[in-house]
Amino acid sequence: MNRPRQPVIILAEPQLGENIGSTARAMLNFGLTELRIAAPRDGWPNPAAEPLAAGAFEAGVTVTAFDSVEDAVADLGFLVAATARPREMEKPVTNASGAIELLTAQTTQVGVVFGNEAQGLSNNHIALCDAIMTYPVNPGFASLNLAQAVIVFAAAWGDAQGREGRFEGKNAGVGDPASREELIGMFEHFEDELERAGYFHPPDKTPLMMRNLRTAFIRGQWTSQEVRTFRGTIKALALGRGKARIKRED
Amino acid sequence: MNRPRQPVIILAEPQLGENIGSTARAMLNFGLTELRIAAPRDGWPNPAAEPLAAGAFEAGVTVTAFDSVEDAVADLGFLVAATARPREMEKPVTNASGAIELLTAQTTQVGVVFGNEAQGLSNNHIALCDAIMTYPVNPGFASLNLAQAVIVFAAAWGDAQGREGRFEGKNAGVGDPASREELIGMFEHFEDELERAGYFHPPDKTPLMMRNLRTAFIRGQWTSQEVRTFRGTIKALALGRGKARIKRED
């Protein structure tokens, strides 16, 4: 199966080198490697980016600086504009996973454009894009840190790529589920010892008490190993108390 | 239609105040407001948090500091552990949106626990949780900045809220889920009695044995009543054996 081409991440006129570094780290966390920066305020390269990149540049993120947003997107065939604010423009508006559906449907190289720390994207830059991506943010506190905005997209990209992240049920390989027979053996062992210890009282309540215990245990979907472990604890409690007493009597 | 209760965000032993501030900002961007910090390295309050919070504390995020992760989660009924690394534990493993399905299905207060900058979550802390959330990260560059990890979850939460009322509590009517405090009390009671009975042998395996037991029990999502019942059985096994002997000696 062909993987879709990775979207390019474009930062429009970013201000802080720190945010460029954090963006690179965020991208690489989810396997994105092509970063373009359009008219960075403090130029490029920028030593302030290094510490926050946490090694992302060495580990594979490439950064290319351009003089303008227009130059940075010139070779791209489909662009998504990331912006928290609704705009009066006739463009599709979607969230991160919707944007990824649009991006992966393209046959050309694609990109996502993020605005800068102070103003976000200008209307002129949004006008260059094919669709608008907006996150379901708190309207009273809508301003995301730049790299945070990038990682929300990158994580959705990772999700879409690696469906293996979906529900896997249990952690694989830790143990085989216990058979019903093993569970029943465990219950009978437990109940026998409880009976011997005088737990079931009054006797007419015994069936209900047993059923409630069994229900609680069944719900955990224990493995064979867990059943053996629990039987070990029952044995220890049933016998060990005697040992402890003997020791104390020594 | 009732909105699900917001998950509490718990940072386990966070190191940098800056990351606590960034986390608060990230949370509030998507409408989450309850932050708990367990044993923050540099104490709390921490002036380093303020600039990166970008006003989130004033705008509604509450931060409560606790001495330990156990204390921080004591009153919560269902917990998700955020970790990039797969663990050999029998717990459901899911991504952010899967975790949100699990969280919104609960009828109790819920939380998501994030590990610290240096080590992530310890196995002991993961053992306290009901499920593991892992993002589909780049295996060659898997370490997310702490606040970045939080915003990936928060954004997925925001996304899920946008879709009204999809989730119904599925545990309705079974009884109140046990709080984490009740479960921890039960574990300690059980482990104390096992210790007294000489169960933990050899001693260097004890933490692993305890963790495996806790994991098995947590998975059942027991009710408060079930916790009380099980504590009754422990007591009976620990003490009752003596009674039975006395009877036999009569």
* B65-112 confidence digits (pLDDT tens): 999 999 999 999 899 999 976 667 778 889 999 999 999 988 889 999
Report the DSSP pairing between strands B8-12 and B78-82: unpaired
ipTM > 0.85 for the complex: no
pLDDT at B170: 31
Helix (H) or strand (E) holding B38: strand B34-38
Is the pLDDT at B125 greater than 60, yes or no? yes
Q: How confident is the model at residue B210 (pLDDT cuts 50, 70, 90)?
A: confident
* B133-137 mean pLDDT: 92
| A230·B213 Cβ contact <8 A | yes
Is the pLDDT at A224 greater than 80, yes or no? yes
CATH superfamily of B8-160: SPOUT methyltransferase, trefoil knot domain (3.40.1280.10)
The tens digit of pLDDT for each residue in A180-219 reads 778 888 989 999 988 888 888 888 888 888 878 887 887 7
pLDDT at B175: 72
The tens digit of pLDDT for each residue in A120-155 reads 898 888 888 888 999 988 888 989 999 999 999 999
Q: Which residues of A touch B142 (CB under 8 A)?
A: 29
Cα B87 to Cα B122: distance, rounded to the nearest angstrom: 10
**Is any Cβ of chain A less than 8 angstroms from the Cβ of B231?**
no
| A196·B142 Cβ contact <8 A | no
Give the residue extent of every domain in chain B.
Answer: 8-160, 180-249
Q: Which residues of B touch A230 (CB under 8 A)?
A: 213, 216
The tens digit of pLDDT for each residue in A4-25 reads 579 999 999 999 999 999 999 9
Q: How confident is the model at residue A166 (pLDDT cuts 50, 70, 90)?
A: very low
pLDDT at B116: 94
**Is any Cβ of chain A less than 8 angstroms from the Cβ of B57?**
no
**Is any Cβ of chain B less than 8 angstroms from the Cβ of A223?**
yes
**Is any Cβ of chain A less than 8 angstroms from the Cβ of B208?**
no
Which of A141, A170, A220 is the closest to B217 by Cβ? A220
Is the pLDDT at A81 greater than 70, yes or no? yes
pLDDT at A248: 39
The tens digit of pLDDT for each residue in B223-233 reads 888 898 899 88
DSSP, collapsed to helix, strand or coil, labels residue B91 as: coil
B50 neighbors B16 (Cβ within 8 angstroms) = no
pLDDT at A91: 76
Q: How confident is the model at residue A171 (pLDDT cuts 50, 70, 90)?
A: very low
Helix (H) or strand (E) holding B79: strand B78-82
pLDDT at A213: 82
Mean pLDDT of chain B: 85
Is the pLDDT at B11 greater than 80, yes or no? yes
Scanning A1-20 for CB atoms below 8 A from B yields none
